[in-house]
Structures are given as C-alpha cells and as structure tokens.
Homo-oligomer: A and B are copies of this chain.
C-alpha cells in the first residue's frame, strides 16, 4: 500500500464526500481555504485511462464541489490540476489519477476565529507556502462544505 491515493481512500481520514467514481478529501495544507484532493476510486495511471462514465462523474463532482465552496466561503474561482509528478520520482512509477483543487478568494474569509487570506489571488498558486490549522477548525471546514453540498 505505497500509493498515497489508495491509502487515503482506504483510511477515509478527513473525507468530505464521494461520488460514484471519485472521493474528495481535505488537503493538509490550507493556504487556500478548503484546498482538497480528489482521488479516482480505481487505481489508474493517467487521465487517458478514464472512461466516459468517469469523466461525466467528474464533471458532476466539479459542479457540486465548486457550488459548495461558493456557498460555504464565498470562493471567487477555482484552480484545478492533475500532475502526478511525484510518482515518477520512484524507481517503479505507479501513479494514481487524482486532482488538486484550490479555491481562490478575492476577499479574506473569517471562519472559526481565523482569517484566511488568499496570498496571491489572480496569480498562480504558491507551492512554497504551507498553512497548518488546528484539527477542530479542519473538522468545521469539512462540516461547512458538507452542509452546502
């Protein structure tokens, strides 16, 4: 069980919701409030391997997640990416299709006594920044998104 995505799916830790084909988890880094990982349930290596059903399911998930983030935290827009670079640093690459979801905010968000401010709205996300937040606030973020799904 070396695959990060398979591990997340098995452990179900900080799972927000799942569709038929994908599972959404709160990401550790919360520089961009409600940053998530979206894992394909099946271990497949590349986006080329996705079926029509998986793409339709993904489209529905995108709509549901983006709408929930607008309702929950007034997110302005969203960055989506699928890279899977890390897997290729291994001797025997075994990538698993997943997406990075970063909501972006033109205005700061005051949630649970903490101010979340997008550090560079309108520009590419900054991967050098890492924002840790308390487990109880993480739990509240998950609950808030779930209320708005």
Evaluate contact between B67 and A48: CB separation under 8 angstroms.
yes
Q: Which A76-125 residues sit within 8 Å CB-CB of chain B?
A: 76-86, 88-89, 93, 95, 104, 106, 121-125
Evaluate contact between B55 and A88: CB separation under 8 angstroms.
no
Copies in the complex: 2
Interface size class, chain A: 35 or more
The A interface is mostly helix, strand or loop, or mixed, namely mixed
Evaluate contact between A83 and B127: CB separation under 8 angstroms.
no
Q: Does A59 contact B (CB under 8 A)?
A: yes
Q: Does A52 contact B (CB under 8 A)?
A: yes
Known contacts A63-B48, A67-B48, A77-B95; is-contact A85 B104 (Cβ 8 Å): yes
Of chain B, the residue at the smallest CB distance from A57 is B55
Binding site for B on A (CB under 8 A): 46-48, 50-52, 54-56, 58-59, 62-63, 66-67, 76-86, 88-89, 93, 95, 104, 106, 121-125, 127
